[in-house]
């Protein structure tokens, strides 16, 4: 062992430049290898931060799930036809390119045997004052009637009462999914459950991250708590925060980062956030 140490000392004295350059060279090769996989890293300091990460935070829709939605269940109040409910929701979402909107329009198209939002009747439907409320849904005038299509928070904001029988049906429903509530002239019409499948590689991703030393995985979503809990349970995610607006997600991530910087905190690891949307 004595001779090994002497050899190392000789190496340091004789070629320090080679040893010094090995550090930036390792960063350079890491950035190059990542870019070949389609991953862009801004610089070497971010590789160092990444190596210290112990918490991974994920958006749900389109990140852990496929983001390909389909109408799964329809709960219409008494006297309202299911097809009519979907038609109203689809027209309300006419101008939106959100995946949920696309699934409603597709369902309306299929239920009308190919005569969906592109036919003459739908084009003649008068659509005015469309407002997309971030994290809530859509507010629009359809043929002179005020239509709301969105989540429970939107109904509460607009003082629309959801009938107890609809709430009971939704609570007893085992299918995970996003619930779109529909109201017309402040009268509740029904709810539509739109489901999204988990990506096949999400299971391996979470498992591998834990093997690599990620101590805590967190999921943030605008979906309801029931749907979020089911998805998180399937994936083995440690913590779930549901029914969040975009700004709420920012606050949650900031809280996690702040908790790492608190004096006396044992863990000084960094936080990874993963998302696919514009707001992410």
Measured in whole angstroms, the distance separating CA 211 from the mean position of its chain's CA atoms is 24
Among the listed residues 54, 59, 234, 280, the single catalytic one is 59
Catalytic (active site) residue 83 = no
Just list the catalytic residues.
59
């Amino acid at each position: 062992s004595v001779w090994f140490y002497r050899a190392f000392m000789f190496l340091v004295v004789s070629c320090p430049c080679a040893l010094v350059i090995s550090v930036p060279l390792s960063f350079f090769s890491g950035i190059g290898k990542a870019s070949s996989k389609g991953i862009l890293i801004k610089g070497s300091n971010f590789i160092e931060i990444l190596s210290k990460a112990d918490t991974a935070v994920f958006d749900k829709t389109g990140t852990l799930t496929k983001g390909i939605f389909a109408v799964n269940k329809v709960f219409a109040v008494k006297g309202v036809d299911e097809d009519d409910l979907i038609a109203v929701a689809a027209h309300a979402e006419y101008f939106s390119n959100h995946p949920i909107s696309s699934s409603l329009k597709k369902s309306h198209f299929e239920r009308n045997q190919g005569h969906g939002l592109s036919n003459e009747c739908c084009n003649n439907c008068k659509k005015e004052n469309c407002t997309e409320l971030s994290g809530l849904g859509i507010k629009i005038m359809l043929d002179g009637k005020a239509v709301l299509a969105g989540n429970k928070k939107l109904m509460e904001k607009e003082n629309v009462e959801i009938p107890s029988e609809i709430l009971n049906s939704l609570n007893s429903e085992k299918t995970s999914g996003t619930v779109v509530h529909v109201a017309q002239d402040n009268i509740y019409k029904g709810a539509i459950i739109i489901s999204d499948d988990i990506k096949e590689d999400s299971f391996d991703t979470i498992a591998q991250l834990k093997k690599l030393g990620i101590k805590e995985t967190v999921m943030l979503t605008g979906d309801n708590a029931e749907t979020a809990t089911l998805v998180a349970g399937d994936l083995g995610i440690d913590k779930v925060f549901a029914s969040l607006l975009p700004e709420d997600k920012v606050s949650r991530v900031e809280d996690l980062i702040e908790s790492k910087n608190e004096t006396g905190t044992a863990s000084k690891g960094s936080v990874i956030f993963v998302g696919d949307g514009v707001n992410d």
